[in-house]
């Protein structure tokens, strides 16, 4: 072999080694995924109502780590929830990889509110192990970006899904080590091998935290977190991201006048929420822009962290209103977030 050939061969080996080293995560992103930690996302699919995802690490059982995923979606005009619980083989660590746990599945069950869990059979488990994501296997670092105030590392990935025909998913994920499950944002597109588009979606983190009831060390909590910090007016609590509204429009001929609203405390301490008598206007972004509410008499709600109030009957005013449907409103990092399905129209007052 000539000296020139040796140099060329060495260059090829060096390039192949560099390519292999470029695949995988550049650092640890999942250390915050402790028992009780959770991350909430909004998924946007073109032509469909937004969906909500809540990933939670459940308390360990018999040395096995567990994950629960709750999906919220619109069904027949109502916001519906579905839960899937995953049990992982002993020795698997979510702190090492909280996104690729599908390959470690040993149990899986699903349920909807008010029903008993349905344990998936062995064939379904085997299929899940083959099809659930393992981004680290093909992840290639792209750069670093600020996503909603979180400096996040961006990776490109490709995944092949078996089937007839087989499907290929290409996408990008943004990871931040301070967030449970590590994921801040995701964009993905799936096509058949022929190039035919199957689906595409965007996923964005809207909130994250940890629950003391699910395993967090309560001794480390400050006493102030056990005392309500209110009263806080509804408009202020919404603007600061302290409260989430789930709104259902009465199915009558009142052009969206009659609403049923539940209020969820999004913070880590009790909230005394005050709904004042008279008008309240909330800046809620698209598609409604502003939600104008009116209440006949002042009302106070004491909400524990993560708790949801009973439904409150309120009146919607203004010429431009939501006249049909159900939707969820919140604010994250100063940005209004909407999910659900709603018809907006101008009405005569």
Distance CA 86, CA 108 (A): 5
Residue 3 domain-assigned (yes or no): no
Last residue of a domain, one of 212, 237, 254: 212
Which residues of 102-242 form beta strands (DSSP E)?
A: 105-111, 118-119, 140-147, 150-161, 167-175, 183-192, 197-210, 232-233
Domain that includes residue 189, residue range: 37-212
What pLDDT, on the 0 to 100 scale, is given for residue 255?
Answer: 84
294 with 201, same domain: the answer is no
Task: Categorize the per-residue pLDDT at 228 as very low, low, confident or very high, splitting at 50, 70 and 90.
Answer: very low
Residue 252 domain-assigned (yes or no): yes
Residue 125 domain-assigned (yes or no): yes
61 with 136, same domain: the answer is yes
Distance CA 70, CA 74 (A): 14
58 with 172, same domain: the answer is yes
Ranked by mean pLDDT, the top range of 177-191, 194-208, 268-282, 321-335 is 177-191
Q: What is the CA radius of gyration of the chain?
A: 24
87 with 171, same domain: the answer is yes
CA-to-CA separations, 182 to 55, 102, 176, 226, 234, in angstroms, rounded: 11, 16, 5, 28, 31
Could you tell me which residues come within 8 angstroms of residue 311 by beta carbon, excluding any fewer than 6 positions away? 248, 260, 261, 262
Last residue of a domain, one of 212, 235, 268: 212
How many domains are contained in the chain? 2
Residue 176 domain-assigned (yes or no): yes
Last residue of a domain, one of 161, 177, 212: 212
8 A C-beta contact, residue 317 and residue 295: no
Residue 6 domain-assigned (yes or no): no
Residue 336 domain-assigned (yes or no): yes
Give residue-wise pLDDT tens across range 168-198: 999 999 999 999 999 999 999 999 988 999 9
Residue 256 domain-assigned (yes or no): yes
């Amino acid at each position: 072999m000539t000296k020139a050939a040796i140099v060329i061969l060495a260059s090829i080996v060096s390039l192949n080694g560099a390519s292999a080293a470029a695949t995988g995560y550049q650092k640890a992103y999942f250390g915050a995924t402790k028992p009780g930690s959770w991350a909430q996302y909004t998924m946007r699919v073109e032509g469909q109502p937004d969906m909500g995802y809540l990933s939670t690490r459940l308390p360990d059982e018999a040395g096995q780590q567990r994950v629960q995923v709750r999906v919220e979606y619109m069904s027949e005009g109502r916001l519906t929830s579905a839960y899937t619980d995953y049990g992982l083989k002993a020795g698997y660590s979510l702190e090492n990889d909280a996104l690729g746990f599908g390959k470690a599945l040993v149990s899986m069950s699903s349920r909807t509110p008010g029903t008993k869990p349905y344990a998936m059979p062995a064939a379904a488990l085997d299929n899940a192990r083959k099809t659930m994501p393992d981004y680290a296997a093909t992840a290639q670092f792209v750069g670093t970006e600020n996503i909603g105030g979180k400096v996040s590392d961006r990776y490109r990935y490709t995944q092949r899904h078996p089937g007839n025909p087989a499907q290929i998913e290409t996408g990008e994920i943004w990871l931040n080590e301070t967030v449970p499950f590590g994921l801040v944002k995701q964009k993905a597109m799936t096509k058949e091998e022929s190039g035919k588009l199957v689906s595409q979606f965007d996923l964005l983190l809207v909130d994250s935290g940890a629950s003391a009831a699910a395993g967090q060390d309560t001794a480390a909590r400050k006493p102030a977190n056990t005392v309500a910090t209110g009263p806080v007016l509804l408009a202020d609590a919404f603007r600061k991201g302290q409260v989430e509204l789930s709104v259902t429009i009465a199915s009558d001929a009142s052009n969206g006048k009659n609403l049923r609203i539940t209020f969820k405390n999004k913070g880590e301490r009790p909230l005394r929420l005050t709904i004042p008598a008279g008008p309240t206007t909330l800046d809620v972004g698209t598609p409604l822009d502003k939600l104008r509410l009116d209440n006949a008499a002042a009302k106070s709600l004491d909400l524990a962290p993560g708790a949801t109030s009973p439904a409150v009957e309120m009146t919607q005013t203004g010429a431009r209103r939501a006249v049909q449907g159900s939707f969820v409103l919140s604010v994250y990092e100063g940005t209004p977030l909407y999910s659900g399905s709603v018809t907006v129209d101008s009405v005569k007052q």
